[in-house]
Amino acid sequence: MNVILVEGESDRLALEALARRRERDLDAEDVSIHAIGGAHAIRREVERLHEHARLAGLCDAQEKPHFRKAFEAVGLADRFFVCERDLEDELIRALGVAAVEEVLVARHELGLFRSFQQQRAWRGRDPAEQLRRFFGTYSHRKIEIGAMLVNALDLDRVPRPLDGVLAAV
């Protein structure tokens, strides 16, 4: 059994989308992706699973200390991968703002994003920063957007942490 531990549902859905795009059958390969409900649960999950499964992990930069400590405690220091800031940041940089906006067009949310951009607190800021914040203004958008962005990616531009964690299992 192979298990990838990720912080949340958006990470799980994005990795599942990438696996499909890479034509990997995770079920046939006995790979499962577990959303652990936040980085603070990582130690418990690593301790529970490390003797029964080949583990890998994916986290945001701010959660790296939690993942490092948990994976190092069981001798698996090289089995987790870190997004430079977070999953959305990695995908926005890989796609570029214009391509991300095309995903918003497909979701019928470009108008909402344009309205968000005009809010006093966000007016004039970097569009990539605006996008990151916009994704989090509605919980379902945050959960769904990662997979949609992965589906829009040129496979030659997949962020290294995403390909790395899938290659580890």
CATH of residue 67: 3.40.50
In this model, does residue 93 exceed pLDDT 90? yes
Residues 49 and 108 in one domain: no
Write down the residue that tokens 């949310």 correspond to.
Answer: 109
What pLDDT, in 10s, does the model give residues 40-53?
999 999 999 999 99
* Structural domain range at position 23: 2-86+159-167
What is the percent of the chain where pLDDT is above 70?
100
Residues 7 and 60 in one domain: yes
pTM metric for this prediction: 0.95
In this model, does residue 139 exceed pLDDT 90? no
Q: How many domains does the chain have?
A: 2
Residues 41-76: b if buried by 16+ CB within 10 A, e if exposed: bbbebbeebbeebbbbbbbbeebeebbbebbeeeeb
Residues 57 and 100 in one domain: no
Residues 7 and 80 in one domain: yes
Residue 31 DSSP SS3: strand
- What average pLDDT does this structure show over 113-121? 97
Going through 44-169 in order, the beta strands assigned E by DSSP cover 54-60, 80-83
Residues 71 and 7 in one domain: yes
In this model, does residue 38 exceed pLDDT 90? yes
Contact of 43 with 66, CB cutoff 8 Å: yes
Residues whose CB is less than 8 angstroms from the CB of residue 54 and which lie 6 or more positions away in sequence, other chains included: 1, 2, 3, 169
pLDDT of 51 reads 95
Residues 50 and 96 in one domain: no
In this model, does residue 138 exceed pLDDT 90? no
Residues 80 and 163 in one domain: yes
Residues 76 and 97 in one domain: no
| CA–CA separation, 140 and 125 (whole Å) | 24
pLDDT of 65 reads 97
Contact of 34 with 12, CB cutoff 8 Å: yes
Residues 54 and 106 in one domain: no
pLDDT of 7 reads 96
- What average pLDDT does this structure show over 53-82? 97
- What average pLDDT does this structure show over 134-144? 91
